[in-house]
């Protein structure tokens, strides 16, 4: 049946391969928004203080599970925050014990709570060598942080100056370039023959930099990496709907209370957990590739991480526009939900 005639689609339950849950009261408020539709998620470790050791990751995982509402099933896949003082043997032990699924690389200063990140990549080489040996993926925030590099060019420069040399030195290391935003990144991943994949966010499939800046600054569209030109957004859509196993969903859903977004130096991050599946169904339907939504959300990610796809399924049904709320309330304050700028006709019904 052609996509335009589909009114119902059943797919394996999706996973989110890049998610921010925060901690404390915020964790309790936003976790159900992901667990409602997603079976698993790669959990970002950039708390304050960051999740650096196996013991810290295990404790954070316990807090997540304690916050999960009764009746919901969800598996957090923990990551370790890579620092220049990270112990390779602690990483090995965390992976062997099933505590940590991946390690996260933040170039120092690249995004929210990244001050403890890496400045000298040679200092983390022993960790990367161990990860290559045991098959543990490195999740990369792919931007340089040099102030003399234009913010719209930082992803492309990172590929040339950091990622290519790193992968030549440690060719057996599995790398996920997270939240890619450019044609440059899409082409680089496509041209890589092994051990390379990329996540694409919901919002980068929908917004370009005009959405942030044209007609006035829209702080709820501000994220890092920042959205780029329309040509880059189109390249991301083409990669996502292609079925290429190297591209899969990582929402980078990142809750910040409005008070932290709406100020002179507002936080970077877009909260998409609640309406992601509806947004994605619209994007894939417009592209005429609705039947490939399952590969992007439910198949390609587990394949790269060496995990089985979920046996459970969800069903999306097309109908009247879904009345999503503008924001969710948390004990810390309201968190505004991503507004794609068009009606969402697909809802998860089962």
Query: How confident is the model over 209-258, as pLDDT tens digits?
Result: 999 999 999 999 999 999 999 999 999 999 999 999 999 999 999 999 99
Q: Using the predicted structure, report yes or no on whether residue 279 has a pLDDT greater than 60.
A: yes
> What's the chain's length in residues?
350
Say which range, 110-114, 118-122, 265-269, 292-296, has the weakest mean pLDDT. 110-114
Cα torsion 98, 101, 106, 111 to 10°: value is: -100
Number of alpha carbons in the 13 Å side-chain half-sphere of residue 327? 13
Model confidence band, residue 121 (pLDDT cutoffs 50, 70, 90) = confident
C-beta separation of 181 from 232 below 8 A: yes
What does the longest C-alpha to C-alpha distance in the chain come to?
55
Does the pLDDT of residue 113 top 60, yes or no? no
Strand partners, 178: 141
> H or E segment at 100?
strand 100-105
Residue whose tokens read 């929908």: 206
Measured CA angle at 97 (ends 93, 103), to 5 deg:
60
pLDDT of residue 116: 67
Model confidence at 1: pLDDT above 70: no
Is residue 164 within 8 A of residue 193, CB to CB? The reply is no
Report the catalytic residues.
Answer: 252
pLDDT tier at 145 (50, 70, 90 boundaries)? confident
What tokens does 6 get?
């589909």
pLDDT of residue 118: 81
Task: Give CA–CA dist 138/132, Å, rounded.
Answer: 9
Domains and CATH numbers, the chain: 3-348 (3.20.20.140)
Which residues are CB-neighbours of 304 under 8 A, at least 6 positions away? 137, 174, 176, 197, 245, 246, 248
Statement: residue 291 has pLDDT above 90: yes
Give the list of residues 6+ apart from residue 234 with CB closer than 8 angstroms, or none. Answer: none
Helix then strand count (H, E) for the chain reads: 13, 13
pTM of the model as a whole: 0.96
CB 161 within 8 A of CB 210: no
Question: What is the radius of gyration, based on Cα positions, of the chain?
Answer: 19
**Cα(241)–Cα(252) distance, rounded to whole angstroms?**
18
- pLDDT category at 11 given cuts 50, 70, 90 is very high
Average pLDDT over every residue of 43-66: 97
Euclidean distance between CA atoms 64 and 23, whole angstroms? 8
User: Whole-angstrom Cα distance, residue 203 to residue 339?
Assistant: 9
Q: Is residue 318 within a helix (H) or strand (E), and if so which, with residue range?
A: strand 313-318
Tokens of 231: 């040509």
Chain mean pLDDT for the chain:
95
Asked if the model's pLDDT at residue 190 lies above 60, the reply is yes
Beta carbons within 10 angstroms of residue 141's beta carbon: 24
Cβ burial of 263 (10 Å; 0-12, 13-18, 19+) is: exposed
């Amino acid at each position: 049946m052609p996509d335009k005639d589909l009114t119902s689609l059943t797919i394996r339950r999706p996973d989110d391969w890049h998610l921010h849950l925060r901690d404390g009261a915020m964790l309790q408020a936003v976790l159900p928004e992901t667990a409602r539709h997603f079976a698993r998620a790669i959990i970002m470790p950039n708390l304050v203080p960051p999740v650096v050791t196996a013991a810290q990751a295990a404790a954070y995982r316990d807090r997540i599970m304690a916050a999960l509402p009764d009746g919901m099933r969800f598996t957090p896949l923990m990551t370790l925050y890579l620092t220049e003082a990270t112990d390779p043997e602690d990483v090995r032990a965390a992976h062997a014990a099933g505590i940590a699924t991946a390690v996260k690389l933040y170039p120092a200063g690249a995004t929210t709570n990244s001050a403890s990140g890496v400045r000298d990549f040679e200092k983390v080489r022993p960790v990367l060598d161990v990860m290559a040996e045991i098959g543990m993926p490195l999740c990369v925030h792919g931007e340089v942080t040099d102030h003399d590099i234009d913010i719209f060019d930082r992803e492309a420069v990172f590929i040339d100056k950091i990622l290519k040399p790193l992968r030549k030195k440690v060719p057996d290391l599995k790398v996920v370039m997270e939240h890619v935003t450019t044609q440059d990144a899409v082409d680089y991943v496509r041209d890589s023959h092994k051990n390379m994949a990329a996540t694409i966010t919901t919002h980068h499939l929908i917004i370009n930099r005009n959405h942030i800046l044209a007609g006035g600054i829209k702080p709820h569209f501000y994220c890092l990496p920042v959205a780029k030109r329309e040509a880059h957004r189109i390249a991301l859509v083409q990669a996502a709907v292609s079925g290429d196993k190297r591209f899969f969903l990582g929402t980078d859903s990142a809750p910040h209370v409005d008070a932290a977004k709406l100020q002179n130096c507002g936080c970077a991050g877009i909260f998409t957990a609640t309406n992601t599946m509806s947004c994605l169904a619209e994007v894939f339907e417009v592209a005429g590739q609705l039947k490939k939504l399952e590969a992007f959300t439910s198949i390609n990610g587990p394949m790269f991480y060496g995990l089985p796809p979920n046996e459970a399924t969800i069903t999306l049904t097309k109908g009247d526009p879904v009345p999503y709320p503008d924001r969710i309330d948390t004990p810390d304050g309201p968190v505004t939900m991503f507004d794609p700028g068009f009606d969402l006709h697909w809802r998860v019904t089962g």
